[in-house]
Chains A and B, each alone.
Chain A
Amino acid sequence: MNRYRIAEILTGIDRRIIYLSILLATIIPFLVGFPQPIYVSKESRDLYNWVENIRDGSTILLTFDYYPSTLAEVEPMSRAAIKHCWRKDMKLICMTTVPLGGPSITERVMNDMATNWAVEELGAKKIYGVDYINLGYKPDYKAVLMGMGTSFRDIYPTDFRSVPLDSFPITKNVDKYSDVNFLYIISDNGIVDEWVTIANRQFGIPLGAGVTAVMAPKFYSYLQSQQMVGLLGGMRGAAEYEKLIGSEGMATLFMGPQSLVHLMIIFFILLGNTAYFLGGRKV
């Protein structure tokens, strides 16, 4: 069999075979386990250290700026962030700039953490309105971020359940960015730029972000210019944070399949290039 024939066979592989191998590569590591030493990058450690050094009991603005499409990647970050903050008894003011699903995801994750995780780990439920609140969504994110610089209440007269903010202890003395100690963004879209250029740059609130891997490469620029204190990039970033807080969760579990699937993609890239070099321009 000459090299052109081999190249022809290689380029003729049906796409469904590729799909199937990717599927298997995601399933197998769940069944057999996979080595997963996790190297913690500087940007994740910086974020962890920053939060660790904030005084216990402080107020944090935590965002759920993501669509349901990227839940697998970013929800573990939200959960890890909540664990870290609540271990330090921080108050979490939650909000979202994402109309499709943002407020509902906030409801589900916060209520689950407050009733299940908090009881298991901290021994008591976290109380809505005292330990956390869901402000929900308001349209036009630029206007929302700018308006919140002067008054949270102007933009959010009530929480997501239509109860005025003054009725909650957690928001009684909070009305602008300067009343909050840290801005913790979890996002899957360009809203991070808005937070950096409005909330951080114009109103001076320090911020850190957990973002999808698609977004992450851009934000290294904000790290070096100190417009952002730390960064979690994708599922891997979430796994690093889970390691830092000493509570392995979904992201750590997913690192196994992630490893094998990456190997599989690299294998296909090499295979495709082998075909290319064997066949030259003929194939």
Chain B
Amino acid sequence: MHDLLSKRLPMMLAFFAGMVIIVAFFSGHPTLTNFRSNMQVWVSIIGGFTLLLGVVSITSVNYRRVRKLEKDWPYKLILLISLVVSGGFGIFQGTEAGTVYDWLFQNMSAPMMSSMFAMLAFFIASAAYRAFRARTVEATILLVVAMIVMLGRVPIGQVIYHRLPEITEWIMNYPNLAVQRGIIIGAALGAASMSIRIILGIERTYMGR
């Protein structure tokens, strides 16, 4: 029984779900495409529960730390309070514009998240200064192209040399496009073979073993 539930049933389900998608795509029969559509609703609902897994574990870890008064427990308490307030208002008052939930997001979460990413500007500047050296031919090409593009995509570049934007456009549309496409095709082939392995049950590491 354990073997059936832990191994065979999951493998059969993965095979079934994957095949529904593939067969529906090739046949295009309305019954199958409708079935596929219903299956997507199921997957979406399960996906919702999956998102909550992280919340459960962050809550239990921090709750334990507060209860044992471990180092930095006041911070963890603040974390838990923020969680309960935001989640609580989201459940009981709603999530649309004008709710407390929305206020907390717009005036607290969003500015903080923006700032964390904005800080990267400083780090990238400092890294460019320290690490971006023309040590080899390849590195020099990279460096020169980067500078052309950086200038070509801002108005001041056009003032410095009027054809810079066109040169940038050419780089993006030809050499850059070619490399991106090479990467896209190569990665797609790899991803496709991985998908087949999952559907056929050869690849099972996602099951945790």
Contacts and interface: CB of A to CB of B under 8 A. Distances in A.
> Within 8 Å by CB, do A and B touch in the complex?
yes
A34 B169 CA distance: 23
Interface stretch (B3-11, B34-42, B74-82): B34-42
A154 B154 contact: no
B173 interface: yes
Interface in B27-64: 33-34, 36-41, 43-48, 50-51
B125 A265 contact: yes
Nearest to A22: B125
Interface stretch (B65-73, B106-114, B200-208): B106-114
A259 interface: yes
A55 interface: no
Q: Which of B37, B39, B132, B176 has the most CB of A within 10 A?
A: B37
B93 interface: no
Interface stretch (A1-9, A67-75, A81-89): A67-75
Interface string A265-278: 11011011100100
A35 B50 contact: no
B172 A268 contact: no
B91 interface: no
Nearest to B115: A69
Contacts of A221: 177, 180-181, 184
Contacts of A268: 125, 128-129
Given A69-B114, A139-B51, A150-B37, A18 B106 contact: no
Interface size class of B (residues with CB under 8 A): 35 or more
Given A39-B165, A41-B165, A143-B44, A218 B184 contact: yes
A13 B125 CA distance: 13
8 contacts: A13-B129, A104-B106, A139-B48, A139-B50, A143-B40, A147-B37, A155-B40, A258-B154
Interface of B: 21, 25, 33-34, 36-41, 43-48, 50-51, 94-97, 102, 105-106, 109-111, 113-114, 116-118, 121-122, 124-126, 128-130, 132-135, 143, 147, 150-151, 153-159, 165-166, 169, 172-173, 176-177, 180-181, 184
Interface of A: 11, 13, 15, 18-19, 22, 34-39, 41-42, 67-72, 99-101, 103-105, 107-108, 111, 138-140, 143-144, 146-147, 149-151, 154-155, 160-162, 202, 213, 217-218, 220-221, 223-224, 233-234, 236, 255-256, 258-266, 268-269, 271-273, 276
